[in-house]
Structure formats: structure tokens, C-alpha cells
């Protein structure tokens, strides 16, 4: 069985809590708050006014540039104000506030559950449709999908890699989506293959989801050019570059994008959104989120409309457990602890994890013993011990020489360090600083 070749760690997957829980619909909020920054790139520009009535699926904010995404109203009601709200980390972000009245959808949206397999749109039309629907990568990075589908001149996509790995411990939303909406995902894959003008797609799924592998294999056997690649368990297999290496044995060069080796990677949740946008004319207004943790009363997978306060999603799952020490947005490896769960659900939040007090504490760091475990674990072939020391000493030029910009923030180094050194904390800080220096240098030129 295949996996990627450099580094990687084996955290306990802890998926039992929410695995195989059917996707449940989270009730609509009374007041929805829709942030204007839900993606990488320029913030979206609001196109509605105070007092305006909106329907579900109506465009409320236009993309602020090429690398940006449209935002559609996930609810129907009246816009009360366009103001700022706090994100999960207490920082301000612009948002549109809507008072929810009923659940009235745009007539153009097909709300039936029938699977429509035929798609006769031209590639350009498909990409346009995806761009209009404001679809971003739902795997975590939130990179606008339409940008990925338009390779720069001279580059040609050869294979579509579908990310059904879900290597983050605890999270199960993609797994459940594959089980429940396999056919839709398969249609979505065909649509994307058509948009890219390619004949081959590989679905990568880790072997801890045997039912998803079986289901997708069964569907793939009826579809031309799509194959399922079961993968050995290893974190961070869901990273773009790691998945390409695992599935088609090609290595993306340092600093380059996957298109360099002819690959386009998309998450299954993104592909499901593509299907809905192209076949059902439904823009991206909701996503499946995992709410999980050892002490959560009703852990599970919830389909949440954007703008719903996370507190409401938590209430659906039985409220915040009493022994909670940390609430993490996303998975335990790459997610970030949140200090405010009043924040509305958005395209970025793939899960909520409640860690008990005893498990949430970080261990006091000790001295580096030069064991080199972090070097072995780094899936990008970097030297985390060195980079973190350089960041500590503010040696930005040296960090750049040692390819800090290749770091994918996966946290393998931190996970594996026997001295519990805060390697990633420093590397991330260094990466941000070096990134700033590189951008300033480019701007000067």
C-alpha cells in the first residue's frame, strides 16, 4: 500500500467518536453573521445594503479580486447592518448581519435530492459557474477553487487528485460525505475532469476508512478514468504535496505549485460543492462540520449554514462538556485553539474539537537533545530544530536559505519532539517574517 516517502508521523486517529454518524442538519439561527473574509486572498466586497431583503443563495458580497471568492447569503431575511465582528481569536473582521426570516430560496436553485449525472457545459462555463458560486478549498486552506482550475500559460494539468484522506485525527466530515454523497462526488470529479480537459483522476483514501474505499471503488468501477488509491495511514497525507507523492509518485519542487508536476488536488468536500454548484445551481452556503471530543454528548457530523453561531452548533451536539480545557477549530494537529465560540460558522471551520483539560495542556519544554527526530518527521525534508533556533535568534536570511517557506505548518516536528520544544511556534513566526521580507523585496523590484 502506498504512502508519501518523506517524513510523517502516526498520531492516534481518534475518529471513533464521530465516525459513521449521519450528517445532521443544524437548525437555522435567528441572526446570521456572515464574515466577508472566508478565504485566502482579498476580502469580498459587500453588495447589499442595510434593510435589503435577501433570499438563500443570493449574492451578498463580490470577490475582491482574482484570488478571492464570492459570498452568498446562507439564509433568507433582512440585512440589518454591515459592521465588524470578532473572529474566534478575538480579532476584528468585517461581516454582514442578517435577521433570519423563514427559509426562502432563490428559484433557480434545484433543491431536490436527485443526482443529475449529465453535464454538457463547456470547460469555461464550468469554471465560471464554480467562480460564481464562491467555491474555495474546503480542506482547510480555503484557496479559491477556480484559480486552481486555470493553470498559468505553459502549464498543463494531467491528473486530478481527489483528497479523501482526512488525515487529521478526530475529523470525520469528509468520510461521512463520501459515504452519503459518493455519487455526487463522482459526478463532481467528472465535471472537474471535463473543466480541466483531462482523462485521469485518482481518489486517495486512507485505509482507516474501508467502507469509504469500498464505496468509492464501486462507483469508480462504473466511471471511466477514475481510480481509487487506498493509502497507508500517515499524517500529513492530506497535504497537497504529500498526497501527490503518495498517489502518483511525483515530487513538487520547492516553492512550486502542484500544477508544476501536472496535478490538481481538490478535497472531496470541495468536489461535492462543485457538483452542487454546477448541477444544482446552489452556491457554497453550507458545509459539513465535525463536532467531536471524548466528552461531547452527541459528537457527529453537522451540515451547517454559514453564519450560524458556533455556539448553536455546539448546543446541537449537547453543549460544551464540563471538563473542556481547549476548544480547537479544525483538527488537533493543524487546528487552532479558539477563545470565542460565538464566531459564526464559515468556509474555514471544518470541525470543532473539545479537548479535556488534562489532555489540552502543553508540556514544559526542555533542552534540545539533538536526536534529529524532527528532521526525520518533517514531510517537507526541512530541519525544524535549526529553523526554530534561527527564528529564536531572528536570523531571517538564514531561515530563507534553509527553505522555511516550504514549511506546511503540519506540526509533525512538534508532535515528535521528545523534549516538547515549541518548534512550530517559532518556525511559523519566522515563516511569517521571512514571507514579509520576501514580499517587500518583490514590491521594491
Partner 1 sequence: MNLIVISLLVLGITGCAAALLLYLTARKFKVEEDPRIDEVQEVLPGANCGGCGFAGCRALAEACVKSDSLDGLLCPVGGAPVMEKVGAILGMTAAASDPKIAVVRCNGVCAARPKTSEYDGVKNCRILHSLYVGETACPFGCLGCGDCVAACPFDAIHMNAETGLPEVDEEKCVACGKCAQACPRGIIELRKKGPKGRRMVVECVNKDKGAVARKACLNACIGCGKCQKECSFEAITVENNVAYIDSEKCRLCRKCEGVCPTGAIHAVNFPPKKPAAPAAEGQQTQPTAQKEEVQA
Least Cβ distance, residue 90 to partner 1 (angstroms): 3
Q: Binding to partner 1 by residue 426, rule CB under 8 A?
A: yes
Choose one: 82-90, 266-274, 369-377, 398-406; the region binding partner 1 (CB under 8 A). 82-90
Q: CA 164 to CA 243: how far, in whole Å?
A: 10
Q: CA 122 to CA 127: how far, in whole Å?
A: 9
Q: CA 149 to CA 198: how far, in whole Å?
A: 11
Give the one residue of 89, 102, 359, 438 binding partner 1; rule: CB under 8 A: 89
Q: Which long-range contacts (CB under 8 A, 24 or more apart) does 190-194 make?
A: 190/117, 190/119, 190/223, 190/226, 191/119, 191/121, 191/126, 191/274, 191/275, 191/278, 191/279, 192/126, 192/149, 192/160, 192/264, 192/266, 192/271, 192/274, 193/160, 193/225, 194/119, 194/121, 194/123, 194/126
Least Cβ distance, residue 185 to partner 1 (angstroms): 34
Give the one residue of 12, 22, 91, 444 binding partner 1; rule: CB under 8 A: 91
What phi, psi does 145 have (nearest 5°)? -70, -35
Give the one residue of 5, 249, 298, 361 binding partner 1; rule: CB under 8 A: 361
Q: CA 40 to CA 84: how far, in whole Å?
A: 19
Count the residues of the shown chain that bind partner 1, applying the rule CB under 8 A.
15
Least Cβ distance, residue 422 to partner 1 (angstroms): 4
Least Cβ distance, residue 339 to partner 1 (angstroms): 4
Determine how β-strand 77-86 pairs with β-strand 92-100. Answer: antiparallel
Least Cβ distance, residue 37 to partner 1 (angstroms): 16
Q: CA 189 to CA 219: how far, in whole Å?
A: 11
Q: Binding to partner 1 by residue 425, rule CB under 8 A?
A: yes
Choose one: 14-22, 237-245, 402-410, 423-431; the region binding partner 1 (CB under 8 A). 423-431
Q: CA 126 to CA 271: how far, in whole Å?
A: 13
Least Cβ distance, residue 173 to partner 1 (angstroms): 24
Q: Binding to partner 1 by residue 428, rule CB under 8 A?
A: yes
By beta-carbon proximity to partner 1, the closer residue of 197 and 440 is 440
CA-closest candidate to residue 71, choices 33, 15, 14? 33
Least Cβ distance, residue 424 to partner 1 (angstroms): 10
Q: Which residue has the cell 479535556?
A: 356
Least Cβ distance, residue 435 to partner 1 (angstroms): 12
Site string for partner 1, 367-406 (x = CB under 8 A): ----------------------------------------
By beta-carbon proximity to partner 1, the closer residue of 144 and 411 is 411
Choose one: 230-238, 344-352, 402-410, 422-430; the region binding partner 1 (CB under 8 A). 422-430
Q: Binding to partner 1 by residue 94, rule CB under 8 A?
A: no
Q: Binding to partner 1 by residue 339, rule CB under 8 A?
A: yes
Q: CA 32 to CA 55: how far, in whole Å?
A: 13
Residue 268 backbone zone (phi > 0: left; psi -120 to 50: alpha; other: beta): alpha
Q: CA 440 to CA 438: how far, in whole Å?
A: 5
Q: Binding to partner 1 by residue 336, rule CB under 8 A?
A: yes
By beta-carbon proximity to partner 1, the closer residue of 196 and 343 is 343
By beta-carbon proximity to partner 1, the closer residue of 148 and 421 is 421
Least Cβ distance, residue 352 to partner 1 (angstroms): 16
Contact 235, 333 (CB under 8 A): yes
Q: Binding to partner 1 by residue 432, rule CB under 8 A?
A: yes
337 three-state secondary structure: strand
Q: Which residue has the cell 517524513?
A: 7
Give the one residue of 92, 124, 207, 249 binding partner 1; rule: CB under 8 A: 92
Beta strand extents in 67-149 (DSSP E only)? 71-72, 77-86, 92-100
Choose one: 48-56, 83-91, 119-127, 178-186; the region binding partner 1 (CB under 8 A). 83-91
Least Cβ distance, residue 95 to partner 1 (angstroms): 15
Q: Which residue has the cell 516553492?
A: 255
Q: Binding to partner 1 by residue 356, rule CB under 8 A?
A: no
By beta-carbon proximity to partner 1, the closer residue of 119 and 429 is 429
Q: CA 345 to CA 304: how far, in whole Å?
A: 7
Cβ atoms within 10 Å, residue 30: 12
Which positions touch partner 1 (CB under 8 A)?
A: 86, 89-92, 336, 339, 361-362, 422, 425-426, 428-429, 432
Amino acid at each position: 500500500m502506498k504512502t508519501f516517502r518523506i517524513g510523517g508521523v502516526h498520531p492516534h486517529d481518534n475518529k471513533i467518536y464521530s465516525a459513521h454518524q449521519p450528517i445532521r442538519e443544524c437548525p437555522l439561527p435567528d441572526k446570521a453573521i456572515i464574515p466577508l473574509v472566508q478565504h485566502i486572498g482579498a476580502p469580498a466586497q459587500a453588495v447589499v445594503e442595510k434593510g435589503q431583503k435577501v433570499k438563500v443563495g443570493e449574492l451578498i458580497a463580490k470577490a475582491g479580486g482574482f484570488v478571492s471568492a464570492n459570498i452568498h447569503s446562507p439564509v433568507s431575511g433582512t440585512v440589518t447592518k454591515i459592521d465588524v465582528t470578532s473572529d474566534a481569536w478575538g480579532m476584528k473582521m468585517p461581516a454582514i448581519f442578517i435577521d433570519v426570516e423563514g427559509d426562502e430560496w432563490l428559484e433557480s436553485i434545484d433543491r431536490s435530492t436527485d443526482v443529475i449525472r449529465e453535464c454538457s457545459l463547456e470547460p469555461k462555463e464550468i469554471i465560471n459557474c464554480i467562480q460564481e458560486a464562491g467555491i474555495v478549498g474546503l480542506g482547510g486552506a480555503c484557496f479559491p477553487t477556480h484559480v486552481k482550475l486555470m493553470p498559468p500559460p505553459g502549464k498543463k494539468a494531467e491528473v486530478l487528485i481527489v483528497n479523501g484522506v482526512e488525515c487529521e485525527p478526530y475529523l470525520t466530515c469528509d468520510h461521512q460525505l463520501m459515504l452519503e454523497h459518493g455519487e455526487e462526488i463522482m459526478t463532481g470529479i467528472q465535471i472537474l475532469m471535463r473543466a480541466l480537459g483531462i482523462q485521469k483522476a485518482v481518489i486517495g483514501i486512507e485505509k482507516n476508512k474501508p467502507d469509504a474505499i469500498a464505496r468509492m471503488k464501486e462507483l469508480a468501477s462504473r466511471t471511466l478514468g477514475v481510480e481509487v488509491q487506498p493509502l497507508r495511514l500517515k499524517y500529513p497525507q492530506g497535504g497537497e504535496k504529500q498526497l501527490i507523492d503518495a498517489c502518483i509518485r511525483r515530487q513538487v519542487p520547492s516553492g512550486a505549485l502542484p500544477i508544476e508536476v501536472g496535478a490538481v488536488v481538490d478535497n472531496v468536500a470541495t468536489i461535492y460543492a462543485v457538483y452542487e454548484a454546477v448541477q444544482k445551481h446552489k452556491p457554497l452556503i453550507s458545509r459539513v462540520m465535525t463536532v467531536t471530543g471524548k466528552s461531547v454528548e452527541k459528537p457527529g457530523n453537522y451540515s451547517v449554514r454559514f453564519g450560524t453561531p458556533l455556539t448553536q452548533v455546539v448546543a446541537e451536539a449537547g453543549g460544551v462538556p464540563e471538563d473542556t480545557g481547549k476548544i480547537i477549530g479544525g483538527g488537533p494537529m493543524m487546528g487552532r485553539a479558539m477563545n470565542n465560540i460565538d464566531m459564526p460558522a464559515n468556509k474555514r471551520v471544518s470541525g470543532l474539537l473539545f479537548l479535556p483539560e488534562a489532555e489540552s495542556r502543553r508540556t514544559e519544554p526542555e533542552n534540545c537533545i539533538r536526536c534529529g527526530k524532527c528532521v526525520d518527521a518533517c514531510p517537507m525534508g526541512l530541519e525544524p530544530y535549526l529553523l526554530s533556533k534561527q527564528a529564536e535568534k531572528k536570523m531571517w536570511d538564514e531561515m530563507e536559505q534553509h527553505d522555511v517557506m516550504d514549511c506546511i505548518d503540519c506540526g509533525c516536528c512538534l508532535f515528535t519532539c521528545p523534549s516538547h520544544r515549541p518548534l512550530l511556534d517559532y518556525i511559523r513566526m519566522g515563516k511569517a517574517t521571512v514571507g514579509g521580507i520576501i514580499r517587500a523585496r518583490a514590491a521594491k523590484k
